[in-house]
Structure 1
């Protein structure tokens, strides 16, 4: 066995310094690495301690990626070289071949580090944007131009695409790319429609650190990936991109069934076998005898012309058990919709019990990590 090595990702455009370490870990010439954020010493120390950097780890593990889910406790998905190579190869096969990547996500998250791994395996050098102070569209056109010829890809989250769509030069730059992997949670319908209208090729991805990042693209599993739905609607993932397990074991262990990972997501397979993610099981709202998953309701709300972004969450209710609550941001130039209007809008698609009974209008929705909606923050803010 070798010892897990903490790999500090310095702030600024410096993630390319990780390429040699990742190459060594993938080829078995160097120890497994744990990327940690150099700009956040407190988080870096927490991950280094909690995931036991400096202690022995199995020789086949190349990368440990921190993952907290909604618990806030770092567990650390242990990804083997075989799983990382399978993920990168399947991604390139799906997209049309290896190419040059734009790195616009933090390289200590799985989506960012996968950009580097795909580049290592493709023999290319990614072009990096400095996102230490946030995503700036001003530098995007030059970065895309610097990617040169051949196939060109990027991995982004919905908030970044939305920001680019508000800038004509940035929009045109994204339209030049062969594909953009869009992860970090479901994208609002207006963003997807705006990207399509601008000629931007978006591939919606579903996956997590435990599956070496995105493993289902536009509802279709990558080669080597298996998907099944349990009786309670839970999504279970398996196949070649699966992590070996957690650095810190959990109880219950979602890896307990050999070759499978039990997610906390609910989903369904349509007649063609495509996966539709319905939402997190632990975010389900029990209201008036009905179980409401937030994401389908959000999808309906997102189609309302006055809504730019939205979130559905549950709050305690003496009569209903929980009541459905909506938080929205208003589309530029639009008049804020009323609660009655939104109840009518949702009621046209779902049982009226699923319609929001409380409305909050915000400047922006809280997000965590690389852009995932933070429902817990909304519950804490409005539940007192």
Structure 2
């Protein structure tokens, strides 16, 4: 069954049952569906063509989720916008994309957003945060803006912004067919567990990843399609997250590595997380030592997943049973390649396939990757073992060219984070008049530890790195600039280090 059918049928099973907790208030399936149906009618009467791109101001609230479901069940392309960025920047993004229609919370329709919508003749629909309050027209135009009709997207389900980790975020089209293939992968696992069937399921999934990020979008749609309850958090903080865990009692949660480290640093008592049986992670590389510490402190497996926006979800990952049986043998792996996906490692220069166990560039093909017939090259350095488990060793496209020597930042970061006084590190290339580019490290000290000196770090790293890999400078910071998915935002880190040097 396709995602659009599942969502429509699930919502009709038990209309009075709780579906989504938004700002600590539960919306029932019936209340959510009532809002979706109202939006479907408004969009249908708006004059927007079926393959027009519908702009959504997305945040982790029930109203924007209903707007997303509206696009999914009516077969329209949704274009996500982040209302948490500065209003002028958001207005510029809307102007560049020029959707045929814009839907968002009334509180997110700032003067700048309304001005650009009026100037481009983009109709707007305003949503309320209150349960049972129906959407209202903001402005209404008889025809969609002419510029929007030049960018129709009949096969696209969602235009998703990339994470912006290594540069300016770019929009990537997620095809409806590829998303449904990801859904098939999830359903095949359910069949193995004997969990198939159209029904509401017990348990709650706690959502911290933003809807503007692939992991957030995928989790929301899959959770609701499975008939599970969804509890929303707009931003991760340790205290609020722990309170939400105790309130909603989820069994499995998704958290980025930075959040895992924050929980460890806060020394949260084990009994406060007693409902959990596992944690999924993977929006950024997860240090194996972090997984080890979480297992030791809380007895919880950290199930790493590997995927990308372009793949409409995960293509490799750990399941609980496999983790318990095999993780100690395959420590550091991001999990097994999923059914329906092929993977191989190729030489970066010759593009020739490499033997199992050797490092090279990861290539994938399969039902949710590209056209499912051609190999798709990633930007990751990786290796595979004989059981089809995958290790990711860093990015192949982020090398720092230091006077002709290539420095891979992930290798330097991995070495730095082995130091007991280093909680998190980022290494970026900074301009150098003599060598072109040199590595510089931004470091967050571990809680309760005295930051080591530059000389101490050099001595420590010399046992693991070559001289040309050594950072020329170590800057200790309170925190790092981050993307919405809590990855370090490398362009902003470079800007911060540039300002620090002046």
Give TM-score scaled by structure 1 length. Answer: 0.81
Distance 1:335 1:189 in 2: 23
Match of 1:373, SS state, is coil
Query: What is the deviation of 1:293?
Result: 0.8
Residue 228 (structure 2) pairs with residue 103 (structure 1) = no
Aligned partner of 1:130 in structure 2 is: 234
What is the root-mean-square deviation in Å for CA atoms of aligned residues?
3.1
> Does the Cα contact within 8 Å between 1:178 and 1:201 map onto a contact in 2?
yes
Aligned partner of 1:242 in structure 2 is: 369
Query: What is the deviation of 1:130?
Result: 3.5
Aligned partner of 2:253 in structure 1 is: 154
Aligned partner of 1:180 in structure 2 is: 279
Match of 2:255, SS state, is strand
Query: What is the deviation of 1:301?
Result: 1.6
Distance 2:98 2:336 in 1: 36
Residue 205 (structure 2) pairs with residue 78 (structure 1) = no
Aligned partner of 1:202 in structure 2 is: 302
Task: Trace 1:1-384 onto structure 2 (pairs within 5 A).
Answer: 2-10=51-59, 14=61, 16-27=62-73, 29-40=74-85, 41-54=87-100, 55=149, 57-67=152-162, 69=164, 70-72=166-168, 74=170, 76-91=171-186, 100-131=204-235, 135-147=236-248, 152-169=251-268, 172-174=271-273, 176-197=275-296, 198-217=298-317, 218-232=334-348, 233-242=360-369, 259-287=374-402, 289-383=404-498
Distance 2:431 2:387 in 1: 39
- Structure 1 residues 92 and 183 mapped into 2: Cα distance closer, same or farther (>3 Å)? farther
> Does the Cα contact within 8 Å between 1:91 and 1:222 map onto a contact in 2?
no
Query: What is the deviation of 1:170?
Result: 7.0
Higher mean C-alpha displacement, 365-374 vs 160-169: 160-169
Distance 2:497 2:243 in 1: 42
Q: Indicate the structure with greater strand content.
A: 1
- Structure 1 residues 46 and 220 mapped into 2: Cα distance closer, same or farther (>3 Å)? farther
- Structure 1 residues 102 and 93 mapped into 2: Cα distance closer, same or farther (>3 Å)? farther
Give TM-score scaled by structure 2 length. Answer: 0.64
Deviations 1:115-148 (A, max 9, x none): 11111220122111232xxx22223344234445
- Structure 1 residues 282 and 376 mapped into 2: Cα distance closer, same or farther (>3 Å)? farther
Q: Runs ≥4 in structure 1, deviation > 4 angstroms? A: 18-27, 91-99, 168-175, 257-260, 318-321
Unmatched tracts of structure 1, length 5 or more: 245-256
Match of 1:38, SS state, is coil
- Structure 1 residues 79 and 378 mapped into 2: Cα distance closer, same or farther (>3 Å)? closer
> Does the Cα contact within 8 Å between 1:190 and 1:308 map onto a contact in 2?
no
Query: What is the deviation of 1:22?
Result: 4.2
User: Which structure exhibits the higher relative contact order, with contacts defined as CA atoms closer than 8 Å and separated by 6 or more residues?
Assistant: 1
